[in-house]
C-alpha cells in the first residue's frame, strides 16, 4: 500500500464519515436495548455506550489513516514481516517442536490443558489440510469426521469395554469409511456445491446424533468414557497397583493425567504431520496437489481422479477421527453440542489462516486462534466477538495465510520456495 | 387431503421467506462468486432492527399496524443496508481478486461477529412480538380438520411476490440491473467498459441486505420470536435453497426456497419434525448428484 | 515399403451438443510411426475430435479403435479419460496450456508418471512406511524426467515452478509431460500457437524426434509452416466434416481445401492465451 499524501482536513473528513457510518450501524443495536417484560418489549436507551463506540471509531480511523500516511520508512509491512516468518520457518519449526516437547516440564496444569486444546486443533488442522490444502477440496463439514471418531470411541469403549488404544484405530477407520461414503456422491461436484454438501453432511450427522436417542444418547450424549492408559496403567488416585502413581511409586497428582494426555495428543499430531509430509513426497500426495492445480490435466495423464479424491477425503477423515477419539477420552463425555458448524469453520479458518498446505502455518494459526481465544477467557461474553473480528482482520491483512508459499516435494538441486501467487487453491 | 393442503400452505409460506434470503446469496454469488456467509446474519440483524423499530414506534403511540410496519421496515431496511455496505467494504473488498478461500473465511468471521455483536448488545434471550396480524380464512373443513390460511401467510406471499416483481424489474429493466448483469458475466470486462464495478457490487450488497430485512420482518411477524441465532439456521437453509435452485440464478433461488420450505413442512407433517433438516439436506445432495448445477443453474461446462 | 499399420481408426465419428453438430460422420486413419495433422478453419471441430479421442467427450456415435503394436485393441469411445491415458496410452496437450503451475517442472513430470510410481492405492500407502520398493521406481522416474528435460532444454529450470516459465517453454514442458506417460499416440492441440519462428522450428525438430523414437503424433495446428514441414498425412475438416485427406502436397492442391480457407485467410490464428492455467 503506497502512502498517499494526506492532509489533516481530509483525514478528519474521512474519520467523520466513518463515524457517520458507524452511527448508522450502531444507533439502533447499541443505542437501544430491547428487554422482554411481561407487558411486551421494553426499550432502554444507552447513549453513553453509543458515544463511546462512536468516539472509538473516530479516533481509531484517524490513527489508522495516520499510520498509513506517516508510517516511518523502513518499518516492515505485514507482508514483508510474514515473508520473514516464511523464510525463518526452517528454524521456527524445530524450536516450536522443542517447546512443545518440553512444555509440561515448566508449566502448570492450566497451561498444559490449553496445550492439549491447541494441539487438538493443530491435529484437526493438519488433517483438514490434506483435504483442503493439498487436494484443494473445500470441506465445510470436517467436524462430521471429528464427531464420528468421538462417538465411535465413546460407544465402542462403553459398549464393549475396550481401552483407548484398541478403539482408537477403529474410530479412525470408521471415520475414514464415512469420508469415503461422503466422498462418493460429491465427487462430481465443484467448488461451492461441494462446500454446501459437505456442510450439509456435517449438519446431518449432528441432527442424527441429537435425535437417535437410544443409540447416541441424544442431547445428553455419552458419558463415563474410559480414560486412556499407559500400557495398562491408569491415571487415578486409587492406589491400586495398576495405577501410574503406584507402579512408579510416585505420589499421585492429577497433573500426571494431563501430562499424559498432552503427550498422547502431541504424538497423534506429530503422526498426522509425519504422514502428511511423507505423503506429499510420494505419488499419492503429488497427485493430490496436481488435482488441486488442474483436474483436467490429471485426467489426461491417466490419474484416476475419483480414487485420488476419495483417498484425500479418507485420509483427512482418518485423522479427524483420531482427533475425535482423543477428544472423547479427554473429556470423558461427548455430546452433539461439541460438533456444531462453528467447529468446522474454526478448523477451516486455521487451515486457511495458516497458509494452505503449510504444516508450520497451520500449527501457528492454531496457536494464535485457540491460544489467543484462551487469553480472553475472562471476557467470556466478548470472546467470540473478538475471535470473529480477529478472523476478518487477519484474513484481510494476510489473504494467503501466515506462511504462504509451497516447498517442492522433489528437486534435482536445491528446493526453492514457490511463490504463493502461482499455487492454485483448487476448484473442488 | 386437507392435511396435505395445510402443509402446502405452511411450506409455501416458509419457502417464501427462504427464497427472499436465498436471493441475497445468489445475487452476491453471481457477481463476485463468493458465498456471503454473513448474509443469514444480516437477515437476523434485519429482524432485530424491525423489532426495535416497532417497539420504538409503539412507545411513540403509533398504533396503526400498517403505518408502524411500513415505518419500522423503512428504518430497518435503511440500517441493514448500511450493514450490507459496511460488510462488503470492510471484509470483502480488500480481498477481491484474492484467493478463493480468503473471502469465505472473512465471511465466516463476519458471521461470527454479527451473531456475537447482537448477542452482546441485545442479549441472548428470545425476544417476542405479540401477533400484529391475527385472523385467518378457513378454507375447508374435512372430518374435523380445518385448513386455515392465516392473513399473515397471505401477507407473506403477497409481499414476497411483490418484492420479487420489483426486484426482477430492477435487474432486467434498469441501468443498475444491466450493470449488475454485466458484472456477473465478466467483472473485469465490465469495468473496462466503464461500469463502476465497486459501486455496483456495493449496491448489490445493499439490495441484498434490504431483501434480507424484508425476510427478517416477515419472519418476526410469522413466528413472533427472534434471537441472535436465527440467522444461522435460516441462512444455511437459504443458502441450500440457492444452491438447490442453481446458485447465481434468481428464479432458481425462489424455486429452491419453495422446494426447501415444502420439503420441511411435508416432512414435518408426515415423517418426523426433528429430521426435517436431514430431509432438506438429503434432497439437496440427491439433486446435486443428478444435476450438479442445481435445478436452474447453468451447466458448468469446462472448456478443454 | 508397405504402408505402416493402422494405429487409430476413426469411423463415422459424430458428436452433437444439443442441436449443434460439431463433428459429423468423420472417418480417418492415423498410422503408426506417422505424424497425422488435423487442420481446418476455426470452429471446424478439430478440438472436439481430440476430446472424443482422449475421453473428455463421449461421442454421439461412431467408433474410435486404437491398435497397439502388440495387437491389443482399445475402443476409445467407451473408455473413461484416465483409462485412455493409462491403458490405451494416448497422451495429449491442451490448446490453453494446462500445466500444474504451482508445482516445479520436475514435479510436473513426476506426476505424469503417477501410474508407474503408484500402481495401486495400497501401494501408495505402503510407500509411506518405505515399503513396496518405491525408492527404486522413483529413481527411474527421475531419470526419465531428466531425459525429457534435456530433450526440451529445460534441465536448468527443473526446480522452478512451471507457472514461471516463458510461454514457449511451457508448451515444450507440456509435451514432455505427456511423453512421460509413455504414449503410443501423442495428441497435440495447437502446439505452435504463440511461438515465434525459431521456437516453431525447434518444436518441429522435437516432434520429428518423438516420431523417430516410435511415438505416433496426431496434431491440430494452424501454423501451416509447421504442418507442411513435418506431417506425413493431413486430414482437413470444415464445419465438422472431412473435406480432404491425404499427403501434404495433395491436400495443399485440393480445391476444396482452398475454398474452405478462402475468406478466412489461410493462416488465421486464434489469439493465443497469454498465460497458463487460465480458463
- Contact partners for chain A, using 3 or more CB pairs closer than 8 A, are B, C
Which set of grid coordinates corresponds to residue C179?
Answer: 511423453
Shared domain for A264 and A303, answered yes or no, is yes
Would C168 be classed as within a structural domain?
yes
Instruction: Assign A81 a pLDDT band (cuts: 50, 70, 90).
Output: low
Cβ contact (<8 Å) for A203 and B53? Answer: no
Mean pLDDT on C16-45: 90
Give B100 or C167, the one with higher predicted confidence: C167
Instruction: Assign B290 a pLDDT band (cuts: 50, 70, 90).
Output: confident
Would C278 be classed as within a structural domain?
no
Average pLDDT of the residues of chain C = 87
Shared domain for C120 and C250, answered yes or no, is no
Phi, psi of A229 (to 5 degrees): -120, 160
Mean pLDDT on A4-8: 71
Cβ contact (<8 Å) for C279 and B304? Answer: no
Name chain A contacts of C54, Cβ cutoff 8 Å: 300
Domain range holding A28? 8-69
Cβ contact (<8 Å) for C94 and A279? Answer: no
For chain B, the C-alpha Rg in angstroms (whole number) is 19
Among C147, C175, C203, give the residue marking a domain's end: C175
Domain range holding C143? 97-175
pLDDT at residue B138, as a whole number: 83
Phi, psi of A17 (to 5 degrees): -60, -45
List, for residues A102-119, the tens digit of each pLDDT value. Answer: 888 888 888 999 999 999
Is the pLDDT confidence value at B257 over 60?
A: yes
CA distance A399 to A78: 11
Assess contact for A329 and A228: CB atoms under 8 A. Answer: yes
Shared domain for A359 and A415, answered yes or no, is yes
- Whether the CB of C177 is below 8 Å from some CB of chain A: the reply is yes
- Whether the CB of A389 is below 8 Å from some CB of chain B: the reply is yes
For chain C, the C-alpha Rg in angstroms (whole number) is 19
Q: Which of residues 180-239 of A touch B (CB under 8 A)?
A: 185-186, 188-193, 195-197, 199-201, 203-204, 207-208, 210-211
pLDDT at residue C142, as a whole number: 94
Helices (H) then strands (E): counts for chain A:
17, 4
pLDDT at residue A79, as a whole number: 55
Cβ contact (<8 Å) for A203 and B115? Answer: no
From C55, C82, C128, residue closest to A304, measured CB to CB: C82
Listed range (A151-155, C170-174, C261-265) with the worst mean pLDDT: C261-265
pLDDT at residue C266, as a whole number: 44
pLDDT at residue B299, as a whole number: 65
Distance in Å, alpha carbon of C70 to nearest chain B alpha carbon: 31
Q: Taking Cα atoms as reference points, which of B49, B130, B115 lies closest to residue A41? A: B130
CA distance A419 to B98: 14
List, for residues A334-352, the tens digit of each pLDDT value. Answer: 999 999 998 999 999 999 9
Q: Taking Cα atoms as reference points, which of B71, B39, B232, B89 lies closest to residue A22? A: B89
- Whether the CB of C128 is below 8 Å from some CB of chain A: the reply is yes
Contacts of A360 (CB under 8 A, 6+ apart): A89, A92, A93, A96, A354, A403
- Whether the CB of A353 is below 8 Å from some CB of chain B: the reply is yes
Please count the structural domains in chain C: 2
pLDDT at residue C271, as a whole number: 41
Shared domain for A54 and A96, answered yes or no, is no
Shared domain for A113 and A13, answered yes or no, is no
Is the pLDDT confidence value at C273 over 60?
A: no
Name chain B contacts of C56, Cβ cutoff 8 Å: 304
CA distance A302 to C182: 11
According to DSSP, residue C272 is labeled: P
Shared domain for C264 and C139, answered yes or no, is no
Phi, psi of A123 (to 5 degrees): -65, -45
Would C78 be classed as within a structural domain?
yes
Q: Taking Cα atoms as reference points, which of A336, A404, A421, A382 lies closest to residue A80? A: A404
- Whether the CB of C170 is below 8 Å from some CB of chain A: the reply is no
> Contacts for A65-73 with beta carbons within 8 Å, 24 or more apart?
A65/A6, A65/A11, A65/A14, A65/A15, A66/A6, A66/A11, A68/A1, A68/A3, A68/A4, A68/A6, A69/A3, A69/A4, A69/A5, A69/A6, A69/A11, A70/A3, A71/A3
**Helix or strand or coil: residue B79?**
helix
pLDDT at residue A427, as a whole number: 62
- Whether the CB of C103 is below 8 Å from some CB of chain A: the reply is yes
Mean pLDDT on C34-60: 91
Q: Taking Cα atoms as reference points, which of A212, A114, A228 lies closest to residue A171? A: A228
Assess contact for A256 and C81: CB atoms under 8 A. Answer: no
Cβ contact (<8 Å) for B304 and C56? Answer: yes
CA distance A345 to B110: 12
Find how far residue B204's CA is from the centre of its chain.
Answer: 14
List, for residues A122-134, the tens digit of each pLDDT value. Answer: 999 999 999 999 9
Assess contact for A265 and A116: CB atoms under 8 A. Answer: yes
CA distance C173 to C188: 12
Return the beta strands (E) in A89-180 as ranges: none
Would A288 be classed as within a structural domain?
yes
Listed range (B134-143, B255-264, C218-227) with the worst mean pLDDT: B134-143
CA distance A397 to A303: 37
List, for residues B143-202, the tens digit of each pLDDT value. Answer: 778 888 888 899 899 999 998 888 888 888 899 888 988 888 888 888 898 889 899 999
Assess contact for A374 and A120: CB atoms under 8 A. Answer: no
Shared domain for A211 and A158, answered yes or no, is yes
- Whether the CB of A348 is below 8 Å from some CB of chain B: the reply is yes
Mean pLDDT on A205-226: 88
Q: Taking Cα atoms as reference points, which of C190, C153, C187 lies closest to residue C173? A: C153
Mean pLDDT on B110-137: 89
Please count the structural domains in chain A: 2
CA distance B152 to B13: 9
CA distance A270 to A264: 10
Question: CB-based burial of residue B136 (10 Å sphere; 0-12 exposed, 13-18 middle, 19+ buried)?
Answer: middle
CATH number at residue A248: 1.10.3470
Assess contact for B87 and B79: CB atoms under 8 A. Answer: no
CA distance B54 to B51: 5
Assess contact for C190 and C221: CB atoms under 8 A. Answer: yes
pLDDT at residue C68, as a whole number: 92
pLDDT at residue A428, as a whole number: 54
Which set of grid coordinates corresponds to residue B117?
Answer: 455483536
Cβ contact (<8 Å) for B277 and A203? Answer: yes
Shared domain for A65 and A90, answered yes or no, is no
- Contact partners for chain C, using 3 or more CB pairs closer than 8 A, are A, B
List, for residues A23-58, the tens digit of each pLDDT value. Answer: 999 988 988 888 888 777 888 889 999 999 999 999
DSSP A48-61: HHHHHHHHHHHHHH
pLDDT at residue C191, as a whole number: 92
Chain C interface test: which of A410, A413, A415, A426 (most C C-beta within 10 Å)? A410
Shared domain for C45 and C105, answered yes or no, is no
pLDDT at residue A398, as a whole number: 84
Would A363 be classed as within a structural domain?
yes
Assess contact for A128 and A140: CB atoms under 8 A. Answer: no
* CA closest to C106 among chain A residues: A411
Instruction: Assign C278 a pLDDT band (cuts: 50, 70, 90).
Output: very low
List, for residues A265-296, the tens digit of each pLDDT value. Answer: 999 999 999 999 999 999 999 999 999 999 99
Would C276 be classed as within a structural domain?
no
Contacts of A423 (CB under 8 A, 6+ apart): A293, A356, A357, A405, A406, C101, C102
Is the pLDDT confidence value at B81 over 60?
A: yes
Find the DSSP H helices in chain B.
Answer: 2-32, 39-59, 65-87, 101-122, 151-173, 175-185, 187-192, 197-223, 230-245, 250-270, 276-290
Find how far residue B125's CA is from the centre of its chain.
Answer: 23
Is the pLDDT confidence value at A3 over 50?
A: no
Is the pLDDT confidence value at A255 over 90?
A: no
Instruction: Assign A96 a pLDDT band (cuts: 50, 70, 90).
Output: confident
Is the pLDDT confidence value at C275 over 90?
A: no
Would A78 be classed as within a structural domain?
no
Is the pLDDT confidence value at A8 over 90?
A: no
Is the pLDDT confidence value at B26 over 70?
A: yes
Phi, psi of A220 (to 5 degrees): -75, -20
Which set of grid coordinates corresponds to residue A299?
Answer: 485426467
Is the pLDDT confidence value at A359 over 70?
A: yes
Chain A interface test: which of C47, C97, C114, C154 (most A C-beta within 10 Å)? C114
pLDDT at residue A376, as a whole number: 81
Strand partners, B145: B142
**A-to-C residue pairs, Cβ atoms closer than 8 angstroms:** 145
Name chain A contacts of C103, Cβ cutoff 8 Å: 286, 289-290, 293, 406, 408-409, 418
From B29, B59, B122, residue closest to A33, measured CB to CB: B122
According to DSSP, residue C161 is labeled: B
Name chain B contacts of C96, Cβ cutoff 8 Å: 303
- Contact partners for chain B, using 3 or more CB pairs closer than 8 A, are A, C
pLDDT at residue A52, as a whole number: 93
Among A45, A69, A93, give the residue marking a domain's end: A69
Mean pLDDT on C225-234: 91
* CA closest to B303 among chain C residues: C279
Count of beta carbons in the 10 Å neighbourhood of residue B276: 20
List, for residues C195-227, the tens digit of each pLDDT value. Answer: 999 999 999 999 999 999 999 999 999 888 889
What percent of chain A shows pLDDT beyond 90? 43
According to DSSP, residue C71 is labeled: S
Shared domain for C69 and C198, answered yes or no, is yes
Strand C90-92 relative to strand C6-17: parallel, antiparallel, unpaired? Answer: unpaired
Shared domain for C164 and C33, answered yes or no, is no
Shared domain for C21 and C83, answered yes or no, is yes
Find how far residue A417's CA is from the centre of its chain.
Answer: 25
| Residue with the three cell numbers 529445460 | C154
pLDDT at residue C262, as a whole number: 65
pLDDT at residue A2, as a whole number: 44
Name chain A contacts of C106, Cβ cutoff 8 Å: 408, 410-412
Instruction: Assign C123 a pLDDT band (cuts: 50, 70, 90).
Output: confident
From C103, C128, C158, residue closest to A290, measured CB to CB: C103
Chain A interface test: which of C47, C51, C102, C112 (most A C-beta within 10 Å)? C102
pLDDT at residue C2, as a whole number: 64
pLDDT at residue C277, as a whole number: 35
Would A348 be classed as within a structural domain?
yes
Name chain A contacts of C178, Cβ cutoff 8 Å: 300-301
Q: Taking Cα atoms as reference points, which of C95, C242, C237, C105 lies closest to residue C169? A: C105
Assess contact for C177 and C112: CB atoms under 8 A. Answer: yes
Mean pLDDT on B228-247: 89
Is the pLDDT confidence value at C274 over 50?
A: no
Is the pLDDT confidence value at A6 over 90?
A: no
Q: Which of residues 274-303 of B touch C (CB under 8 A)?
A: 303
Would A173 be classed as within a structural domain?
yes
Distance in Å, alpha carbon of B293 to nearest chain C alpha carbon: 17
Would A105 be classed as within a structural domain?
yes
Cβ contact (<8 Å) for A192 and B106? Answer: no
Among C159, C175, C191, give the residue marking a domain's end: C175
List, for residues C60-94, the tens digit of each pLDDT value. Answer: 999 999 999 888 999 999 888 889 999 999 999 99
Would C195 be classed as within a structural domain?
yes
Name chain C contacts of B303, Cβ cutoff 8 Å: 96, 279
Among C133, C158, C175, give the residue marking a domain's end: C175
Would A238 be classed as within a structural domain?
yes
Instruction: Assign A67 a pLDDT band (cuts: 50, 70, 90).
Output: confident
Instruction: Assign A243 a pLDDT band (cuts: 50, 70, 90).
Output: confident
Distance in Å, alpha carbon of C130 to nearest chain B alpha carbon: 34
CATH number at residue C263: 3.40.50.300
Average pLDDT of the residues of chain A = 87
Shared domain for A281 and A394, answered yes or no, is yes
Would A427 be classed as within a structural domain?
no
Would C198 be classed as within a structural domain?
yes
pLDDT at residue A50, as a whole number: 92
- Which of A64-78, A397-411, B53-67, B257-271 is predicted most confidently? B257-271
Assess contact for C165 and C70: CB atoms under 8 A. Answer: no
Amino acid at each position: 500500500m503506497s502512502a498517499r499524501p494526506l492532509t489533516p482536513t481530509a483525514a478528519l473528513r474521512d474519520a467523520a464519515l466513518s463515524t457517520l457510518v458507524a452511527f448508522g450501524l450502531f444507533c439502533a443495536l447499541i443505542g437501544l436495548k430491547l428487554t422482554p417484560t411481561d407487558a411486551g418489549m421494553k426499550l432502554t436507551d444507552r447513549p453513553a455506550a453509543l458515544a463511546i463506540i462512536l468516539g472509538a471509531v473516530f479516533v481509531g480511523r484517524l490513527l489508522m489513516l495516520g499510520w498509513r500516511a506517516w508510517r516511518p520508512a523502513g518499518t516492515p509491512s505485514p507482508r514483508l514481516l510474514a515473508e520473514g516468518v516464511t523464510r525463518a520457518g526452517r528454524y521456527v519449526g524445530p524450536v516450536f517442536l522443542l517447546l512443545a516437547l518440553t512444555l509440561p516440564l515448566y508449566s502448570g496444569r492450566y497451561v498444559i490443558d490449553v496445550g492439549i486444546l491447541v494441539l487438538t486443533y493443530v491435529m484437526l488442522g493438519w488433517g483438514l489440510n490434506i483435504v483442503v490444502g493439498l487436494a484443494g477440496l473445500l470441506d465445510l463439514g470436517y467436524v462430521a469426521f471429528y464427531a464420528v471418531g468421538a462417538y465411535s470411541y465413546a460407544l465402542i469403549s462403553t459398549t464393549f469395554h475396550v481401552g483407548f488404544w484398541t478403539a482408537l484405530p477403529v474410530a479412525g477407520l470408521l471415520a475414514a469409511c464415512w469420508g469415503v461414503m461422503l466422498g462418493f456422491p460429491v465427487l462430481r461436484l465443484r467448488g461451492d456445491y461441494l462446500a454446501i454438501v459437505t456442510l450439509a453432511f456435517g449438519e446431518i450427522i449432528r441432527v442424527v446424533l441429537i435425535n437417535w436417542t437410544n443409540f447416541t444418547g441424544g442431547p445428553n450424549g455419552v458419558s463415563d468414557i474410559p480414560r486412556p492408559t499407559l500400557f495398562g496403567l491408569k491415571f487415578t488416585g486409587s492406589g491400586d497397583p495398576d495405577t501410574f502413581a503406584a507402579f512408579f511409586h510416585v505420589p499421585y497428582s492429577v497433573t500426571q493425567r494431563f501430562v499424559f494426555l498432552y503427550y498422547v495428543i502431541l504424538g497423534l499430531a506429530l503422526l498426522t504431520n509425519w504422514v502428511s509430509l511423507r505423503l506429499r513426497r510420494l505419488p499419492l500426495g503429488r497427485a493430490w496437489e496436481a488435482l488441486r492445480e488442474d483436474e483436467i490435466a490429471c485426467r489426461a495423464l491417466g490419474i484416476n481422479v475419483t480414487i485420488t479424491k476419495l483417498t484425500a477425503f479418507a485420509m483427512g477423515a482418518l485423522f479427524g477421527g483420531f482427533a475425535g477419539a482423543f477428544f472423547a477420552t479427554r473429556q470423558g463425555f461427548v455430546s452433539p453440542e461439541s460438533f456444531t458448524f462453528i467447529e468446522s469453520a474454526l478448523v477451516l479458518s486455521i487451515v486457511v489462516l495458516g497458509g494452505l498446505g503449510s504444516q508450520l502455518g497451520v500449527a501457528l494459526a492454531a496457536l494464535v486462534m485457540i491460544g489467543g481465544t484462551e487469553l480472553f477467557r475472562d471476557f467470556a461474553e466478548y470472546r467470540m466477538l473478538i475471535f470473529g473480528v480477529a478472523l476478518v482482520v487477519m484474513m484481510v491483512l494476510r489473504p494467503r495465510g501466515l506462511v504462504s508459499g509451497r516447498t517442492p516435494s522433489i528437486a534435482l538441486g536445491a528446493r526453492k520456495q514457490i511463490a504463493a501467487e502461482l499455487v492454485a487453491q483448487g476448484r473442488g | 387431503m386437507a392435511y396435505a393442503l395445510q402443509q402446502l400452505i405452511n411450506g409455501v409460506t416458509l419457502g417464501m421467506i427462504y427464497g427472499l434470503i436465498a436471493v441475497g446469496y445468489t445475487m452476491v454469488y453471481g457477481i463476485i462468486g463468493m458465498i456471503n456467509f454473513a448474509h443469514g446474519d444480516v437477515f437476523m440483524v434485519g429482524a432485530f432492527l424491525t423489532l426495535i423499530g416497532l417497539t420504538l414506534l409503539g412507545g411513540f403511540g403509533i398504533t396503526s399496524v400498517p403505518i408502524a410496519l411500513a415505518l419500522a421496515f423503512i428504518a430497518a431496511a435503511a440500517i441493514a443496508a448500511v450493514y450490507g455496505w459496511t460488510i462488503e467494504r470492510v471484509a470483502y473488498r480488500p480481498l477481491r481478486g484474492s484467493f478463493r478461500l480468503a473471502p469465505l473465511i472473512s465471511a465466516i468471521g463476519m458471521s461470527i461477529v454479527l451473531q456475537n455483536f447482537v448477542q452482546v448488545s441485545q442479549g441472548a434471550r428470545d425476544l417476542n412480538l405479540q401477533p400484529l396480524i391475527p385472523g385467518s380464512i378457513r378454507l375447508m373443513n374435512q372430518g374435523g380438520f380445518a385448513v386455515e390460511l392465516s392473513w399473515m401467510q397471505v401477507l407473506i406471499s403477497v409481499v414476497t411476490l411483490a418484492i420479487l416483481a420489483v426486484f426482477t424489474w430492477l435487474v432486467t429493466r434498469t441501468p443498475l440491473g444491466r450493470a449488475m448483469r454485466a458484472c456477473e458475466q465478466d467483472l473485469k470486462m465490465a469495468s473496462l467498459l466503464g461500469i463502476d464495478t465497486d459501486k455496483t457490487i456495493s449496491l448489490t450488497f445493499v439490495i441484498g441486505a434490504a431483501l434480507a430485512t424484508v425476510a427478517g420482518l416477515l419472519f418476526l411477524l410469522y413466528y413472533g420470536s427472534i434471537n441472535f441465532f436465527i440467522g444461522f439456521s435460516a441462512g444455511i437453509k437459504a443458502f441450500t435453497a440457492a444452491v438447490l435452485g442453481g446458485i447465481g440464478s434468481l428464479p432458481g433461488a425462489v424455486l429452491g426456497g419453495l422446494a426447501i420450505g415444502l420439503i420441511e413442512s411435508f416432512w414435518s407433517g408426515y415423517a418426523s419434525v426433528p429430521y426435517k433438516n436431514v430431509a432438506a439436506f438429503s434432497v439437496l445432495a440427491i439433486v446435486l448428484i443428478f444435476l450438479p448445477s442445481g435445478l436452474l443453474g447453468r451447466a458448468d461446462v469446462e472448456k478443454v | 515399403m508397405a504402408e505402416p499399420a493402422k494405429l487409430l481408426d476413426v469411423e463415422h465419428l459424430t458428436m452433437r451438443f444439443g442441436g449443434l453438430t460439431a463433428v459429423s460422420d468423420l472417418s480417418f486413419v492415423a498410422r503408426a510411426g506417422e505424424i497425422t495433422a488435423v487442420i481446418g478453419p476455426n470452429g471446424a471441430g478439430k478440438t472436439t475430435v481430440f476430446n472424443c479421442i482422449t475421453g473428455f467427450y463421449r461421442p454421439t456415435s461412431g467408433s474410435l479403435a486404437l491398435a497397439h503394436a502388440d495387437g491389443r485393441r482399445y475402443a476409445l469411445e467407451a473408455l473413461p479419460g484416465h483409462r485412455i491415458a493409462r491403458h490405451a496410452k494416448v497422451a495429449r496437450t491442451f490448446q490453453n496450456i494446462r500445466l500444474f503451475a504451482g508445482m516445479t517442472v520436475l514435479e510436473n513430470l513426476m506426476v505424469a508418471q503417477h501410474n508407474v510410481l503408484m500402481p495401486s492405492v495400497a501401494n501408495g500407502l505402503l510407500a509411506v512406511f518405505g515399503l513396496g520398493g518405491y525408492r527404486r521406481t522413483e529413481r527411474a522416474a527421475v531419470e526419465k524426467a531428466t531425459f525429457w528435460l534435456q530433450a526440451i532444454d529445460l534441465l536448468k529450470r527443473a526446480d522452478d515452478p512451471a507457472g514461471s516459465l516463458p510461454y514457449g517453454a511451457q508448451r515444450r514442458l507440456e509435451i514432455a509431460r505427456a511423453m512421460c506417460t509413455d504414449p503410443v499416440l501423442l495428441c497435440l492441440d495447437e502446439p505452435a500457437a504463440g511461438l515465434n519462428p525459431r521456437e516453431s522450428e525447434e518444436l518441429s525438430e522435437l516432434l520429428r524426434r518423438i516420431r523417430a523414437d516410435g511415438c505416433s503424433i496426431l496434431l491440430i495446428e494452424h501454423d501451416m509452416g509447421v504442418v507442411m514441414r513435418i506431417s506425413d498425412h493431413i486430414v482437413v475438416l470444415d464445419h465438422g466434416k472431412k473435406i480432404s485427406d491425404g499427403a501434404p502436397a495433395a491436400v495443399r492442391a485440393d480445391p476444396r481445401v482452398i475454398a474452405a480457407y478462402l475468406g478466412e485467410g489461410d493462416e488465421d490464428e486464434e489469439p493465443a492465451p497469454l498465460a497458463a492455467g487460465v480458463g
